[in-house]
């Protein structure tokens, strides 16, 4: 859900800020979209993700497992800074972040590929352990883009060519009878 730093147009990365009242409403709306019985929830341990997970699972007998692998991209020195500051102080890196994500680098930050490997390795392990279960994964915008890019079979360079992800987007990925995965819904 929307956080305080979202309103301030600050990069959060692995830092944190609480949900706004709108963010809590978005989590409630996300909960209402889930029509299947949830077997288990995996969430980033970030405060904003856990608060979202707790809202979504309220009134359910569902275990929430915190996983560092689902945290947002480590954005290093950008975290806590506004988008305008980043554009002004890091023009080349900012340009690559948005236009050439496959070559984006920033000192002590993750690359998009490193983020994707971290998240996908974890998710594939979860999917292997919990076959035929309904799993909810609660994460963050860039991490979700990296996950979605993988499941759509796209390359990192095309990560931003997907539909815009709003806070508390609802994406459904099903396992096919052949053991592959297919994105069946992406709002």
- Residue-wise pLDDT for 77-123, tens only, equals 999 999 999 999 999 999 999 999 999 999 999 999 999 999 999 99
State residue 41 phi and psi, 5-degree precision: -125, 135
Contacts of 170 (CB under 8 A, 6+ apart): 30, 33, 34, 185, 187
* pTM of the predicted model over 0.85: yes
The β-bridge relationship of strands 64-66 and 135-138 is unpaired
In the numeric block, which tokens belong to residue 92?
Answer: 């080349």
């Amino acid at each position: 859900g929307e956080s305080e730093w979202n309103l301030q147009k600050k990069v959060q990365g692995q830092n944190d800020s609480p949900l706004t009242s709108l963010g809590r409403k978005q989590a409630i709306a996300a909960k209402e979209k889930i029509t299947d019985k949830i077997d288990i929830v995996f969430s980033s341990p970030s405060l904003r993700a856990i608060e979202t997970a707790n809202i979504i699972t309220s009134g359910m007998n569902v275990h929430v497992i915190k996983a560092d692998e689902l945290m947002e991209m480590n954005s290093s020195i950008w975290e806590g800074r506004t988008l305008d500051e980043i554009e002004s102080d890091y023009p080349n890196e900012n340009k690559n972040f948005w236009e050439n994500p496959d070559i984006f680098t920033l000192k002590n930050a993750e690359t998009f590929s490193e983020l994707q490997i971290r998240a996908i390795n974890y998710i594939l392990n979860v999917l292997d352990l919990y076959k035929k279960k309904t799993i909810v994964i609660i994460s963050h915008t860039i991490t979700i883009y990296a996950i979605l890019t993988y499941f759509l079979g796209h390359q990192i360079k095309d990560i931003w060519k997907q539909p815009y992800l709003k806070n508390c987007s609802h994406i459904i990925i099903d396992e096919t009878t052949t053991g592959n995965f297919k994105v069946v819904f992406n709002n």
